[in-house]
Amino acid sequence: MGSLGDWPEPVVCVQSLSESGDLVIPDQYVKPPLERPSLCFTDINIPVIDLAGLVTSRETTMKQISEACREWGFFQLVNHGVRAELVDGAREIWREFFHEPMEVKQKYANSPKTYEGFGSRLGVEKGAILDWNDYYYLNYLSLSHTNWPSQPPSLREVMEEYSNEILRLGAVLLKIFSINLGLKEDHLHNAFGGRDVGACLRANFYPKCPQPDLTLGLSSHSDPGGMTFLLPDEQVCGLQIRKNNQWITVKPTHHAIIVNIGDQLQVLSNTIYKSVEHRVIVNPDKERVSLAYFYNPKNNLLIQPISELVTSETPALYPPMTFDEYRRFIRTKGPHGKLQVESLKSPR
């Protein structure tokens, strides 16, 4: 295992492998047979929730959100109030970035210390099997320095506008989650650090892959933070979530924002809300772009099951830990195909 100082091996940009025209992917991307993608022919989709229902049929909408958090850990929000042009623009500006010449992107090459910038691997385990994905990672809130790419020129402005909208939406959802859990409406807002919530972004680029049945765009993982707002590529499916041991392919709804519960909300709710494993499959004919906005608790606050949710029948399942400590704990490993928060569970 390498340290968090540098990558253990030279990093290869996946886009350049894709563009080489080679019909065989390098061995480092070939997953063990049990981790390879399976085609799944089900019509099941994650719940689609109309947020406008909060005004017109509040009780029903609150109940739909509660069930989605408890049973799915994932839902798509429509009528969320973010302009359709901004939803498209925030994702498409990253597509433009990934199509910049390699020299432009390489100026932002990242290291595993903060992950900020342009990268092509997660985790520092030497000899690890890698994912078919390039990405750009940005620390956005609560840290003094954000490494914005200078191209395309409007990227920062678009992302700042999008971020303001997501912060608004995040605050609305934390209020709903608190009420649904039987807590005071500002409970989760305070548990996340009030106005000091953290946020980071990962723009994902999954180039065309000549052998999509052998690899994954992103290995199975749960999100370490509070909750994630995902803009999927509407033209190319790829996101799969694990439900009852089956992989379900998410069918994106036009201009919806996908929300998923992260590990910190699973800990705070003492597993009433589920942080669910998900992964990404790749495509032989089409590239795919997605934008994940991670809405997180403040770095140095202790996160632990909320005392009102702990009873003699439902004892606290997790020890207290700051988000910063948790992130360091999982960053050495990269996505590992299991629910990372499970390894924290207190012995009982």
Ligand X SMILES: O=C(O)CCC(=O)C(=O)O
Binding positions for ligand X, rule: CB under 6 A: 202, 204, 218, 223, 230, 232, 238-239, 278, 280, 290, 292
Q: Among residues 218 and 272, whose Cβ is nearest to ligand X?
A: 218
Q: Residue 302 pairs with which residues in a beta bridge?
A: 322
Nearer to ligand X, 204 or 269 (CB): 204
Q: Measured from the CB of residue 296, what is the shortest distance to ligand X in angstroms?
A: 13
User: Nearest distance from residue 223's CB to ligand X, in Å?
Assistant: 6
Nearer to ligand X by C-beta: 165 or 233? Answer: 233
Nearer to ligand X, 90 or 230 (CB): 230
DSSP assignment of 276-324: --EEE---SS--EEEEEEEEE--TTSEE---GGG--SSS---S--EEHH
Smallest distance from ligand X to CB 279, Å:
8
For 75, the 3-state DSSP assignment is strand
- When the beta carbons of 175 and 208 are compared against ligand X, the nearer one is 208
Instruction: Report which residue's Cβ sits closest to ligand X.
Output: 290
The two structure tokens encoding residue 129 = 């099997």
Pairing of strands 48-50, 74-78: parallel
Question: Shortest Cβ distance from residue 310 to ligand X (Å)?
Answer: 29
Residue ranges with strand state E in the chain = 48-50, 74-78, 117-119, 134-141, 198-206, 218-221, 227-231, 239-243, 246-249, 257-261, 278-280, 288-296, 302-303, 321-322
Least gap, CB of 107 to ligand X (angstroms): 22
**How many CA atoms does the CB half-sphere of 115 hold within 13 Å?**
22
